[in-house]
Every structure is written in C-alpha cells, then in structure tokens.
A = this chain, B = another copy of it.
Amino acid sequence: MDELDRRILDILRRDARTPNTEIAAEVGTSEGTVRNRVERLVDEGVIERFTIATRTGNLKAMVEVTVAVDVDTNDVSELMAEWKDVDFVWQVSGEEDIVLVVDAADTRAVNDLITRAREHDDVKSTKTRLILDERIS
C-alpha cells in the first residue's frame, strides 16, 4: 500500500468505471501495472468490491440504535444488514451502539424499518435523523 495504490484507490472511489488505461495515464504508469495493482488490492481485501451507490427512493436517513448491554452487537448488525432499504450498518462508539444508513422509498418505509428495529427484543431505543442533503467528496 504505497502512494501509487492510494492514488489508484482515490480514482476508483470517485468512479469505479475509470478504465485502467486512463488511471495509468493519470498516475503516470502503464495499464498493466494498474491492472496488477488493482488485482492485488482485491486479493488483499483492500478493495472489498466494486459496487454502485444508489438512491432508489427519495428519502435517506440515519437510524441510531441502542441495544441492551448483554447483547452481541455483531449479531444484531449482521441481522439488520439484511433488512430491506438498509445500505450500511455501523457499529459505533458513543451513546448509541449501531447506526443504520437507510435509503427508502418514502417516510412509511422508514417508519416500517424503525418499527421493525424497535420490535427487536435486543433493541432498547432508536433515534432517527433524516438526511436532508448529501455531499460526496
């Protein structure tokens, strides 16, 4: 993981469809080197996967979840990651334990999700923030 790797990653984060040839030109090396390095980064797990960021609905939200003290947050996270409309599940430090990043069709879908969370036995409380605006660097 040297400077060249980081520059390649930055470009791919911005647009994962950038051709190797174009990346190579930008960072000043050859297509083959970019190809080798990207392949290595995938093998090493630095690049977990190539994916798309979607906004299928109109509403994004963060749902901050507090679970009971005797609960394994890993298990709860794993479960919630499978839920519909959930993009990310973060285990976080601080007052709450888990943050869900949600992309839903409407407020009802968000509400369904919160309801589902609150109905879970291990969940003590939830706090929801609507994401009113998003900027990507």
Known: A1-B56, A51-B51, A52-B49. A135 touches B81 (CB 8 A): yes
What DSSP secondary structure best describes chain A's contact surface? strand
* Partner among B60, B83, B88, B94 whose Cβ is within 8 Å of the Cβ of A134: B88
Flag if B136 contacts A48 (CB, 8 Å): yes
Flag if B12 contacts A78 (CB, 8 Å): no
Known: A45-B55, A48-B54. A136 touches B90 (CB 8 A): no
Chain A residues in contact with chain B, CB under 8 A?
1, 9, 12-17, 45-57, 60, 62, 74, 77-78, 81-83, 86-94, 99, 127-137
Known: A62-B99, A86-B137; 13 extra A-B contacts, CB below 8 A, are A15-B50, A45-B55, A46-B54, A46-B57, A48-B54, A49-B53, A51-B51, A81-B135, A88-B135, A88-B136, A89-B137, A90-B131, A92-B131
